[in-house]
Amino acid sequence: MATIPLSDRSFSRIARLMHGSVGLSYGPNKKSLMHSRLAGRLQRLGLRGFDDYVDLLESADDGGEFQMAVDLLTTNETYFFREPAHFALLQAELQRTRPQQLAVWSAASSFGDEAYSTAMLLADLEMMGCIGPDWSVLGTDISERVLQSAVQGIYPADRLRDVTPQRLKRHCLRGEGDSEGLVQMRETLRERVRFGQLNLCAAIEPLGPFDVVFLRNVLLYFDAKTKSAVVDRVLAQLRPGGLFFLGTAEGRVPCKTPLTVLAPGAFRKETRP
């Protein structure tokens, strides 16, 4: 079956809908990406073209298709201990401060790789006596589909390629038989991580305060104005003096909240107003 073309008109309709509803920004240079992510969905639904698809997305009873479109447009590759320098900095900070209580927020958690990576690190630091036992990790994302997968905590083994053998043994179960090639987080780790759906472009009810916040590799979906608003909205949940991480390629996003640069993509929320 031939691929259904995406006209400029249909692209603009979808781009406006995504920006108005969830803050996602798609300039003309993202047209091919949008087409590649959504074309197969149209074929599976038996639709004649993208205008029909937008009509479905805008309908009052879309059968969950709008959420599916958001999932398809925002899901990217992720893996455990991505950008390891951030985890090394976090470990050094916690070994220095030795907190007895600790709350961490993975604000764009996707499939949960980042949240569980953090939980592995914290569990190991607790075992070493560097932090107290009262710690928790919250992972949030706009996609229900990825969150359902995150709760299960099952991953292809390649996604854990940067996890040390010792950590794999302590925190993971290797699949056998039909599950060979898969890895599941042990229950003792999964019970320390909570997941919930959250739209970062809408008002955020009090979730924290948190001592550490990760907001990595999600701002690329937003325009400049939305980026600044999202960062300030997220930083309102972070304690003064807390650590804040962005993707290293995202640079420093202009925001009203005072931040001190610690390393590429790593910041401390200043204690002054």
Annotated active-site positions, please?
37, 141
Distances 89 to 52, 53, 265 between C-alpha atoms, Å: 49, 45, 11
Q: Which ranges of the chain does DSSP label H, i.e. alpha helix?
A: 8-22, 31-45, 50-58, 65-74, 84-97, 113-127, 144-152, 165-171, 187-190, 224-235
Task: Count Cα atoms within 13 angstroms, Cβ side, for 18.
Answer: 26
How many residues are there in the chain? 273
DSSP 86-123: HHHHHHHHHHHH--SEEEEEETT-TTSHHHHHHHHHHH
CA distance 97 to 24: 38
Distances 184 to 2, 75, 124, 197 between C-alpha atoms, Å: 39, 21, 18, 22
Stated as kind and residue range, the H or E segment containing 136 is strand 134-141
